[in-house]
Amino acid sequence: MFDVLRPRVFASSIYHIDVSGLWDAGYRAVLTDLDNTLVEWNSPTATPQLVAWLEQLRERGFQVAIISNNKESRVVSFARPLGIPAFYAARKPKRAAFLRALEMMSVKAKETVMIGDQVFTDILGGNRMGMYTIMVQPIHRREAGGTRLMRLFERVVLREKPW
Ligand SMILES: [Mg+2]
C-alpha cells in the first residue's frame, strides 16, 4: 500500500542513487534537500564529490534545484557558487515552494525526483506532490534541535528504515 510518509526508495547516500536508471524511467528533474542530504547540516560549501555528482546529473540532462527549509543566507550562499537554483525557507512539506520549483523547471511533478533525509518535510512533501521520493541516510548526526525531535516520530512511522 502506498503511504504518503514512505519514500519510494531508500539510498545510503546521494552517491548510491542510480541516476541513469531514473533518466531511463522518464524522470527529468531532481529536486533535492540541502542539509544532511548534500552536505552536513550548515556546512558552507560543496565537497568535490558533490560538485561532480551535480555535474553528472546535469550532463545526463536533468534539471536540478535545491529546496531547503533553511534560511536565505545559508541556502543562497551554498547554491550560488554551484550555479544551481535554490528555494529557501521552503516550509516543506507545504506545496508552495514545490510548485514554484516545478514552474521554474517547466516539468511535471510525475517527472520529478525529490531527494531528502527527512520524512516529515522532504518525503511527505514530495509524495503529496506526486513526485518520486528517495530518502537518504542523514550525512551526520548533528542537526537542528527540532529535527532531532522529528527523528523520534520517523522511527515510529518508518520501521523499515535500513539504517
Ligand atoms: Mg535535510
CA 72 to ligand 1 centroid distance, Å? 15
116-158 pLDDT tens trace: 999 999 999 999 999 999 999 999 888 887 888 888 888 888 8
CA 117 to ligand 1 centroid distance, Å? 5
- Whole-model pTM: value is 0.94
Specify the pLDDT at position 2: 59
Q: Where are the beta strands (DSSP E) in 12-161?
A: 29-32, 63-67, 86-87, 112-116, 132-136
Listed residues: CB within 5 A of ion ligand 1 = 33, 35-37, 117
CATH assignment, 9-157: 3.40.50.1000
67-121 pLDDT tens trace: 999 999 999 999 999 999 999 999 999 999 999 999 999 999 999 999 999 999 9
Across 123-138, b (16+ Cβ under 10 Å) vs e yields: bbbbbbbebbbbbbbb
Task: Choose between 1 and 61: higher pLDDT.
Answer: 61
CA 32 to ligand 1 centroid distance, Å? 9
4-38 pLDDT tens trace: 999 999 999 999 999 999 999 999 999 999 999 99
CA 33 to ligand 1 centroid distance, Å? 6
CA 39 to ligand 1 centroid distance, Å? 9
CA 2 to ligand 1 centroid distance, Å? 23
The domains of the chain are located at 9-157
Average of pLDDT values for 41-52?
Answer: 95
CA 60 to ligand 1 centroid distance, Å? 24
Nearest CA to 65 out of 25, 36, 95, 38 is that of 38
Is the model's pLDDT at 1 over the cut of 80?
no
Specify the pLDDT at position 144: 80
